[in-house]
Amino acid sequence: MKRWMVPAMAGVVVLLGTAGACDPPPPPGWVRPEVQDLTVSPTPVVPGEPFTLSATLVDDHQVAWIDVWFRSPTGRESRPCELPAFDSEGDPQTRVDVAVPCQLPEFALNGTWTVVMNVYDGETFTGHGAGAGQAVTTFEALGGSNDDEPPVVEAFTIDPASPIQGQPFTVTVRVSDDHLVTPSGYVVMNYSNTHLRRWDCESGPAEQLSPTQQEFVFTCPGVPELAAGPYNARFALSDVNGNSRPHTAAFDIVDP
Ligand SMILES: [Ca+2]
Ligand SMILES: [Ca+2]
């Protein structure tokens, strides 16, 4: 049995994408590591229940570490696995069977997911996915949620309805969704006219009106240099599945 340590290595940075044009060339004779026989079991995967990614990792010198990431049916990326790390003592291992424990959140989307496993040998530049061997497979998730809809903006109220130039105003946004993020995270609202965009409206955490309703109250400071005229306010909120759609509301700033 190979010697693996859990949890994931500290200090392994996110390694995605492809090699950039400025990456140094690999050393002469370098052999890329490989991920062989990447499988998911059991399938279909049930969100909230554990499953395993299995693969065989091979390299001419050493299998140094792996990186795993998932893409949901709507394209959101996540890493719901405990990555193994090598015990650095002992001889380098050139062929390793791994069984990686993973678990999707209970609310995760049903449908076809993609999983990518990268393996690195540490012999060459390993930023941005360069130097990785990679395998990709898909699996079905069943028994999670079918929520691929963004939160609904039920109300978007500006007070006063026509803010006065140079004076503060508030924006109240009420949203509903079956899978809101609770407690709510930091949310940005901005507003603009044809040549100026402001990001200075601040909101505390949302008030939880019900299990499926939240209300944000943004305070927007008075800005003397904002000209009277038409403006657009924009607000977007993601649910736990990352579904998001911007909401826009038009309003006027009027002369004092
Ligand atoms: Ca190698
Ligand atoms: Ca939703």
d(CA 145, CA 109): 5
Q: What are 217's two structure tokens? A: 């109250």
Query: What is the residue-averaged pLDDT of the chain?
Result: 87
CB 78 within 8 A of CB 38: no
Structure confidence by residue, pLDDT tens digits, 7-41: 333 333 333 444 445 667 778 889 999 999 999 99
**What is the location of CATH 2.60.40.3880 in the chain?**
152-253
26: CA distance to ligand 1 center in Å?
Answer: 10
Q: What is the pLDDT confidence band of residue 63, given thresholds at 50, 70 and 90?
A: very high
Q: Which of the ligands is closest to the CA of residue 244?
A: 2
In whole angstroms, how far apart are CA 18 and each of 72, 83, 116, 118? 20, 21, 13, 12
Q: Which string of b and e fits 30-66 if b means at least 16 CB within 10 Å?
A: eebbbbeebebeeebbbbeeebebebbbbbeebbbbb
Q: Which of the ligands is closest to the CA of residue 61?
A: 1
Read off the pTM: 0.73
CB under 8 Å to 77, separation ≥6 — which residues? 69, 70, 71
25: CA distance to ligand 2 center in Å?
Answer: 45
> Would you tell me how many other CB atoms lie within 10 Å of the CB of residue 236?
16
Structure confidence by residue, pLDDT tens digits, 148-190: 999 999 999 999 999 999 999 999 999 999 999 998 888 889 9
Q: Which of the ligands is closest to the CA of residue 31?
A: 1
34: CA distance to ligand 1 center in Å?
Answer: 9
Of 204, 174, 200, 175, the C-alpha closest to 187 is 204
CATH of 152-253, one of 3.60.21.10, 1.20.810.10, 2.60.40.3880, 3.40.50.12160: 2.60.40.3880
Q: Which of the ligands is closest to the CA of residue 133?
A: 1
Can you name the CATH fold of 4-141? Immunoglobulin-like (2.60.40)
149: CA distance to ligand 2 center in Å?
Answer: 4
User: Is pLDDT larger for residue 88 or for residue 39?
Assistant: 39
Structure confidence by residue, pLDDT tens digits, 202-235: 998 899 999 999 999 999 999 888 889 999 999 9
